[in-house]
Structure 1
Amino acid sequence: MNKLIILLLIGLFLNVQVFATQVPDSVITLQVDLKKRVQVIENIGSSGCWFSEGIGKYWPKEKKERIAELLFSKQFESNGQPKGIGLSAWRFNIGAGTLEQGDKSGIRDFRKRSDSFLNLDGTYDWTKQAGYRFFLQQAKNYGVETLIAFSNSPPINYTKNGLGYKTEKDYQSNLKADAYGNFAKFLTTVVKHFDGLGLHFDYVSPVNEPQWDWSHKFGEADQEGSAWRNEEIFRLTKALNAEMDQAKLSSKILVPEAGMLTYLYSRSSTASHQIQDFFGKKSPFYLGDFKHVAKIVAGHSYFTESNDDVLVNTRKFLADTVKKYQVNYWQSEYSMLADGFREGQKTDRSAMDCALFLSKVIHTDLTIGNATAWQFWNAYEPGSALVNTRYHLIALQGNAEFTDGSFTATKNLWALGHFSRFVRPGMTRLLTEKLTDSKDQADKNLLVSAYLDDMGKLVLVAINSGMKDVKIKIDLKNTSHNYKNGTWYLTTSAEDVNMLPEKISHLDHRVSLPARSISTLILE
């Protein structure tokens, strides 16, 4: 185990894609310069959409509290293993009211219908969304640093068709033309109410994936949703900024939650080119002067990871555009929705296959896209914990009414945890450089990123998705610290090896990362 730990340490200093030789005895030398600093990490989190309601409202106390512990806890077991993955952000869904409509809502799965605090008569009922509120309170109790409220659809009170999704494929908003002020006031009222409860939303996100039409050919939908054109997003954001200012809220507005990263910088629809449209000073839709608008572009990494070239190049273009317009990039929603996670295979993918692929996407968003935040889509969904764990961190098995069930932590949970638990808000990513050129064929299966906090703590996250161990030698530059001791956390396909810790009492700057593993090395 000591040998594996040492390998992990080397990866800490590598924050860009690392190329490993196929020759077992060869060693890659990596230089980590503690003065070459890139972006500051703001948060790493997840969402509790749809299934929070059933779990939080009906499931037995010990079950739902254990789920919350897995997601939010920063504590350790007696053996030093983390009790949870210590998320630093939690996304709360502000429902549109489709739950009360029942089957008339047009949303096929009753578990994906969401209640609304706004009654049809215009009054508010704060007892609604009890399950969602349970997990929001748990996030607060565990000290989750960033709380985000997001909306998939305006309340059905204000939609053109009285539904929580758009039936026409015109790619325009489902919000009534005269209801922009009403929707903005609704969101402001919700945020202000929770402020009064000590549950402060740092951000409110008013639209979600505006590029999709959200309807199906039979007039049904999978969930609440609405398309939005850029001019409609601008109009809503302007109204929301004014309402929040009048209410004296300190929350920021997060836009535009693009359904694919390419929509943020390319011109392909009425809801694309969004960085330029919203943060270009000459644009008629410029949002940069609004007091409550965060200097952040939020986008989703779906459908941009079909292969390594697409994965990397998309994020290079994005990073260049973000830099030009002086905003930060948040990857605010991702699961393995497309088939890129199969990596050319037609058979089922194991839980470890999925975890390794997920960690590669996180790594690339952070090191190539320079994301300052990274958020997984759904913390829990019904599904397997053993194969094709593409949509969830925790696999649910519920009864027919979803009033009780069982749950299993997947390898995805721990893959995200290798980042979320130890790469904390305020840490800075470090650049690394490969000093030795190998004569052997490069191996893209090794990825390592490095992070530093204000107290000099170094964190290395290393991913070795190859079938061989990889040896690395690290060379620290511009450091006044003598890093010799630390803790290594390892996840492999073995059932009981999930962020399993081992103390390092001596480091000789050579480490061996085991095949098909995810590791984090902490150096104080």
Structure 2
Amino acid sequence: MLFFTLTLLLPGLGWAQQQNPKPLLITVDLKKKAQTINNFGAAGCWYAEGIGKHWPAEKKERIAELLFSREVDAQGNPKGIGLSAWRFNIGGGTAEQGDSSGIRDVNRRVEGFLNNDGSYNWNKQPGQTWFLQKAKQYGVENLIAFANTPPVQYTQNGLGFKTTKDYRSNLQPDKYEAYTNFLAEVLRHYEGKGLGFKYISPVNEPQWDWTGKFGEAKQEGTPWQNPEIARVVRALDNSLTTKKLATQIILPEAAKLTYLYGEKAPAARQTQQFFGKGSPSHLGNLKHVPPLVVGHSYFTDEGDSAIVAVRQQVADTARHYGVRFWQSEYSMLADGFREGTKARRTAMDCGLFLAKLIHQDLTVANAAAWQFWNAFEPGRAEFDTRYYLIALQPNATHTDGNYQQTKNLWALGHYSLFIRPGMHRLNINRSDKLNPVAAAQKVMVSAYTGQKGELVVVAINYEPEARNLQLAAKGMNKGTTYQRYVTTASPDDNLKRYPGGKLNQAISLPPRSITTLVVKD
């Protein structure tokens, strides 16, 4: 039996020290595996279209490299964060409607492949397709398609959003098969181009009403009630079978994690509804539906106690119904990331909070996948980087512009670059017995292993003082070495390769930092 022991010691010279901190021992047993990791990803909606279609090659190629590359430069520093999933938005055709779409921001109107006569125009969405091609070229393992709305040709009001607040789907009642055949046809087209989608998500955040005043709507979207979701998934399962596609259906993309197990709404208690064997909406017997529930961590990030409590409920419910859990969308939409202050949060503050949410989703909710919304949006990289990994400064027509890396990008990279699909999270024991709530303001540690026996440890030092980490491994040669990658507030420390060492050497964790250790025997 192989054990790893991590010891948290006094900080080294050069950083402030606490008086007489107690050592922390963290024991990891490689045989005590938790969930299998499926992927880490991000979405390209909506700005992939303008970048991929219009931006100069040098700029968009570097953006793709930042997101997808697993290579390192001459100094050993990663060139990108090596995402293993990429989410592609199948548009509803609101871009072709122009101002008649009722969506205010022209950049959030999305082209559609369906023509009014029922034929298809595969020249649409070339910018998003460019990013799909780059993801494939870089070896991204999981391409995921999702739809926020059915095509406008199939909606009740001819729009990509609702104008009646009744929490019912905008899809015409006799168009379920037409909608799912459309989705399957899009999947078949891309498979023919060598861009096969492993997953398809036919509904998104079904709990929201997605209504808007005409001309002021923010984006495409429609609500769905649980019976409507069941109906569309059954129809899609049939469409995929008919077209001989292996793509799996993921659902329900719950708007908040709490809808996966509770709440009172037309789209609530969704794990029970879709995977409870006695439920009329049971979907667990369908060929293309894996035992998996998918939800979003938005609005469940206010305070460490609440963060942990919600995720414990998610894990308990998923375990009871025999399903896995994916976190498929998160950005700092609410103000939980401010952690009680009204002041602007620095880029590193945001990156640390993001790392903490990923840590809690993985270690408490047992997330098998974790995906960020959004890969890039207009904004700055210095403060309150709430919504994006890469901050865009586009020109007025979004045909060119500048971009900036954020600490969010590299915070996600501490997980996505090194924890690859098929690896397992490991259960750990802390000698200080701190629970996830107490540890959330101190040092958080998670560990992962793969088939080759490698060990990846991610340590988040949330404190303003430095800490040292001692990594010892029973059963491993004391000469075994580790590589170390660090992100701090310094502009130069973006998943930067720091000096490595041997297992019996102390490892410094800088103040307010994220460190990944890659250990190979």
TM-score (norm 1): 0.94
Q: CA deviation at 1:29?
A: 1.3
Q: Which amino acid aligns with 2:211?
A: S
CA distance in 1, matches of 2:502, 2:19: 26
Q: Distance in 2 between matches of 1:418 and 1:458?
A: 14
Say yes or no: does 1:516 pair with 2:516: no
Match of 1:75 among 60, 64, 71: 71
Per-residue Cα deviation, 1:84-129 (whole angstroms, up to 9, x for no partner): 0000000000000000111111111100000001011111000000
User: Is this contact kept in 2: 1:28–1:471, CA < 8 A?
Assistant: no
SS of match in other structure, 1:132 = helix
Q: What SS class does the counterpart of residue 372 from structure 1 fall into?
A: strand
Report how far residue 442 of structure 1 moved: 6.1
Question: Aligned residues, how many?
Answer: 506
Deviations along 1:187-218, one digit per CA (max 9) or x if unpaired, are 00000111111101000000000000112356
Aligned to 2:465: 468
Partner of 2:451: 454
Q: Report the residue type matching 2:516 in the other structure.
A: T
Which stretch of structure 1 is more off in the superposition, 461-470 or 273-282?
461-470
Residues 213-246 of structure 1: CA deviation (Å, up to 9, x unaligned): 1123566311000000000000000110001001
1:260 aligns with 2:262: no
- Kept in 2, the 8 Å contact 1:298–1:330? The answer is yes
Q: How far apart, CA to CA, are the structure 1 residues paired with 2:501 and 2:518?
A: 12
**Is 1:137 aligned to residue 133 of structure 2?**
yes
Q: Which residue of 2 aligns with 1:229?
A: 225
Stretch of structure 1 that moved more, 508-517 or 342-351: 508-517
Distance between the aligned counterparts of 2:285 and 2:433, measured in 1?
Answer: 48
Alignment of 1:266-277 (within 5 A): 266-277=262-273
Q: Residue type matched to 1:249 in 2?
A: L
TM-superposed CA distance for 1:452, in Å, is 0.4
Instruction: State the AA in 1 paired with 2:231.
Output: R
The structural deviation recorded for 1:62 is 0.7
Percent identity of paired positions between Structure 1 and Structure 2: 55
- Paired residue secondary structure (2:367): coil
Aligned-partner Cα distance in 2 for 1:507–1:321: 39
* Cα offset, 1:260, TM superposition: 0.1
User: Deviations for 1:316-347, whole angstroms, at most 9, x for unmatched residues?
Assistant: 00000000111110000000011001111101
Alignment of 1:67-146 (within 5 A): 67-146=63-142
| Distance (whole Å) between structure 2 residues aligned to residue 445 and residue 247 of structure 1 | 52
Query: After alignment, is 512-521 or 248-257 more displaced?
Result: 512-521
Distance (whole Å) between structure 1 residues aligned to residue 40 and residue 230 of structure 2? 27
- Superposition deviation, residue 22 in structure 1: 5.0
Q: Which amino acid counterpart does residue 46 of structure 2 have in structure 1?
A: W
Residue matched to 1:62: 58
Q: Which amino acid is 2:160 matched to?
A: G
Give the AA of the match of 1:122: G
SS in 1 for 2:365: coil
Residue in structure 1 matching 2:348, options 349, 352, 360: 352
Contact 1:40 1:372 (C-alpha < 8 Å) held by counterparts: yes
Cα shift at 1:25? 4.8
> By how many angstroms is 1:295 displaced?
1.4
SS in structure 1 opposite 2:250?
A: strand
Deviation at 1:435, TM superposition (A): 2.6
Residue 402 (str. 1) matches residue 402 (str. 2): no
Aligned to 1:211: 207
Q: What secondary structure, in the 3-state scheme, does the structure 1 residue paired with 2:238 have? A: helix
Provide the rounded CA distance (Å) in 2 between the counterparts of 1:476 and 1:24: 25
In 2, Cα distance between the equivalents of 1:328 and 1:136?
Answer: 26
Q: Over aligned residues, Cα RMSD in angstroms?
A: 1.9
- Give CA-to-partner distance per residue, 1:463-505, whole Å, 9 cap, x none: 112101123444546x556563011000100001111113423
Cα shift readout 1:122-170 (whole Å, capped 9, x = no counterpart): 1100000000000000000000000000000000000000000111111
SS in 1 for 2:89: strand
The separation in 2 between residues aligned to 1:483 and 1:140, in whole angstroms, is 38
